[in-house]
């Protein structure tokens, strides 16, 4: 089983790679952030993407979305410390095959990988219940603009990254602020991050 492990924390990535490397059927490739993971996904095929959510560059959910939009057969397991309802809801809606917390026993992760390769979905029971929480009001473009704003990017920088005009970015941010009943873009980003929507 060819596994791409995308995790920005070097110690966690190393520990997971060592753990998974003990399985004779697992072949691990490591990516230190979302952009490196995307580059690897573009140049070779993997059976599984095992990814964190919050990483520099693309998030784990954005990587999963990229794969799903291309009809890729790569299965996706999100492994995270963040059990936020918004993350889980988006993952389930996207058809992600697995969602586990990092503090789950290591044997659970290995079993999950085998079960997912058998065509099953593995979502931690508590996380599945959390996903029944409130719906994410943001659309994908608002979410991306707000995420970049939360990283301290200016409107002009966001426009360049997303290949949009400054005015369009301002509209997306204004819409996000209104939908979240926020005071400004910083407040909107804080609310959205707390709920797992960005």
pLDDT in tens, 102-111: 888 888 889 9
pLDDT band at 163 (very low <50, low <70, confident <90, very high): very high
Using the 3D structure, point to which of 130, 150, 184 is the last residue of a domain.
130
Considering the entire predicted model, what is its pTM?
0.67
Contacts of 160 by beta carbon, 8 Å cutoff, 6+ apart: none
Measured in whole angstroms, how far is the alpha carbon of residue 66 from the centre of its chain?
Answer: 11
Residue 52: the pLDDT is 92
Mean pLDDT, all residues of the chain:
88
Highest averaged pLDDT of the listed ranges 38-47, 107-116, 128-137 = 38-47
Task: Tell me the average pLDDT across 107-132.
Answer: 81
User: Strand order in 27-31's β-sheet?
Assistant: 27-31, 2-6, 48-51, 75-80, 98-101, 122-123
Domain count along the chain: 2
Domain for residue 177, yes or no? Answer: yes
pLDDT at position 135:
73
Question: Are 35 and 114 found together in one domain?
Answer: yes
Q: Identify whether the C-beta of residue 46 lies closer than 8 Å to the C-beta of residue 72.
A: no
pLDDT band at 175 (very low <50, low <70, confident <90, very high): very high
Using a pLDDT cut of 70, give the percent of the chain over it.
Answer: 93
CA pair distance 41, 193, nearest whole angstrom: 26
pLDDT bucket at 133, cuts 50 / 70 / 90: low
The CATH number of whichever domain residue 154 belongs to comes to 1.10.10.10
Q: Are 127 and 138 in contact (CB under 8 A)?
A: no
Q: What is the model's pLDDT at position 57?
A: 87
Region of 92 please: left (phi>0), alpha (psi -120 to 50) or beta. alpha
DSSP, collapsed to helix, strand or coil, labels residue 101 as: strand
Would residue 135 count as lying in a domain? no
Q: Which range marks the domain in which residue 168 is found?
A: 140-195
Same domain, 163 and 115: no
**DSSP β-bridge partners for residue 51:** 6, 78
């Amino acid at each position: 089983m060819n596994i791409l492990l995308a995790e920005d924390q070097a110690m966690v990535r190393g520990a997971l790679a060592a753990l998974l490397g003990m399985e004779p059927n697992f072949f691990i490739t490591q990516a230190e952030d979302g952009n490196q993971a995307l580059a690897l996904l573009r140049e070779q095929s993997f059976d599984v993407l095992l990814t964190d959510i919050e990483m520099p560059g693309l998030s784990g959910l954005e990587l999963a979305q990229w794969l799903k939009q291309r009809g890729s057969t790569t299965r996706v397991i999100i492994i995270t410390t963040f059990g936020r309802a918004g993350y889980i809801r988006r993952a389930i809606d996207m058809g992600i095959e697995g969602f586990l917390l990092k503090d789950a026993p290591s044997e659970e992760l290995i079993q999950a990988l085998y079960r997912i390769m058998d065509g099953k979905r593995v979502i931690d029971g508590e996380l599945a219940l959390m996903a029944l929480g409130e719906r994410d009001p943001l659309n994908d473009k608002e979410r991306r603009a707000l995420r970049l704003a939360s990283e301290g990017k200016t409107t002009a920088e966001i426009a360049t990254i997303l290949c949009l005009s400054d005015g369009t970015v301002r509209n997306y941010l204004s819409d996000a602020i209104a939908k979240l009943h926020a005071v400004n873009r910083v407040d909107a980003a804080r609310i959205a991050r707390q709920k797992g929507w960005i």
